[in-house]
Amino acid sequence: MRTIELVVMALRAILGNPMRTILTMLGVIIGVSSVVTLVAIGQGAQVQIEKQYENLGTNLIVANVLGRGRAQQLDYNDLMQLEMLPEIGAMAPTVNKNNSNVKFEHNEDQFNVVGTNDRYLEMMKGEMASGRFLVDGDLEFRSSVAVLGSETATTLFPGEDPLGKVVTIEGISFNVIGVMQKKGSTIGGTSLDTSVIVPLETARRTFKIGSITTTYVEAATKDDLTQAQTTLTQYLTYKFKSSNGFRLLNQDQLMNARVAASSTLTNQLISVACISLLVGGIGIMNIMLVTISERTREIGIRKSIGAKRRNILLQFLVEAAVISSLGGLIGLILGCALSWAIPLINPAQATKLSLDVGIYAFLFSALVGIIFGLYPANKASKLRPIDALRFD
């Protein structure tokens, strides 16, 4: 008997009872479609994270000061001395005042205020839409000037040019000198688009922010990254008299940490989906056992006219495999459709379909059918013709 004939025979048996077939396939459909969708979500998140960091220079190091207190104080001018070193390209120390009230006439909202220096824009790979960014002089004279993120600007100045206007931050007036272009991606939750950038010393004094919390450091070249990191570690350890008062992360580490966090979650979800695929397999086994006891007479008839054990075994095995791979195929299509629809419904949730995962999920579902079909099919093939014929 040829395989194609077996498959046709199995398809006919399956189509003879469509409702039951669909119910049997349901477990596999749910299993495969959720694996495909979850993998697409996981990979989509990863791509998104990678894209965010791609926007940053690859030789960026972020130095975070942990904890507060006098011992943890960094002096801006001291820090900037490090720029003299050959391995260090640029430094942008920052102070942050998150969720500050920013107001222009009747428009107001909460924005993140960042006090920093002129290097900040380039290090964040930001660009100006209009006006100018901070310059050395702004820091030197502690001027009350502000650069707005694109979203900040549209919220406070709908349909109006913000340049030259005066906004109040926590009740204190600042001149708007520039507006940045939309950037989109976020790093560590702070987005350039929803920020207000002011000179570092101005921020420290006006808002009584004690210490520099985050410093962005750019190594001179990619090859200097390790050296720059060593230098910073030595410097900060010396400053804080301890190596636990700060944390240094380079871009790869930052990205990997976030990718790892997001993939742990996806992997857990995927394993739950795989369990549902196995449960689907058990469902197939269950139905195949029922089918075989219902079709005992058929088995007897086939044996009486000359079907061998392997003909019967193959018949039911192919039937189980066809049910599960058909379920797998439907699951695959459903999974692709879901992965395509999710970003349309929720633009923040990117998805990325990968062909090989789809193929693996499909093959796995066929395998599940074969494994769980083996026991019932073997049982059917071992029936003695006379017992099977007498059965009704």
Partner 1 sequence: MDNMIELEHIVKTYQRGAETLHILKSVSLTVARGDFVAIVGPSGSGKSTLMNTIGLLDVPDSGTYRLDGVLTSNMSDNGLAELRNRKIGFIFQQFNLLPRLTALENVELPMIYSGIGKKERRERALVVLERLGMGERGHHKPSELSGGQQQRVAIARALAGNPSLMLADEPTGALDSKTSAEVLELIVQLNRQGNTIVLITHDMHIAENARRIVTIRDGEIVSDERLDGAPSERLTEAVSR
Rule CB under 8 A: choose which of 81, 173, 304, 349 binds partner 1.
Answer: 304
Give dist(CA 218, CA 230) in Å, integer: 13
CB of 16 to partner 1, least distance (A): 5
Which is it for strands 145-148 and 214-219: parallel, antiparallel or unpaired?
A: unpaired
CB of 392 to partner 1, least distance (A): 9
- Choose one: 12-20, 62-70, 334-342, 351-359; the region binding partner 1 (CB under 8 A): 12-20
Identity of the residue, 296 or 351, whose beta carbon is nearer to partner 1 in the bound complex: 296
Residue 343 binding partner 1, by CB under 8 A:
no
Residue 205 binding partner 1, by CB under 8 A:
no
- Choose one: 113-121, 232-240, 303-311, 321-329; the region binding partner 1 (CB under 8 A): 303-311
Q: Within 260-279, which residues bind partner 1 (CB under 8 A)?
A: none
Rule CB under 8 A: choose which of 19, 305, 344, 345 binds partner 1.
Answer: 305
Residue 155 binding partner 1, by CB under 8 A:
no
Identity of the residue, 1 or 23, whose beta carbon is nearer to partner 1 in the bound complex: 1
Residue 307 binding partner 1, by CB under 8 A:
yes
CB of 274 to partner 1, least distance (A): 35
- Choose one: 28-36, 44-52, 256-264, 383-391; the region binding partner 1 (CB under 8 A): 383-391
- Choose one: 75-83, 148-156, 190-198, 382-390; the region binding partner 1 (CB under 8 A): 382-390
- Choose one: 60-68, 207-215, 274-282, 378-386; the region binding partner 1 (CB under 8 A): 378-386
Residue 172 binding partner 1, by CB under 8 A:
no
Residue 12 binding partner 1, by CB under 8 A:
yes
Site residues, partner 1 (CB under 8 A):
1, 5, 12-13, 16, 297-298, 300-311, 384-386, 389
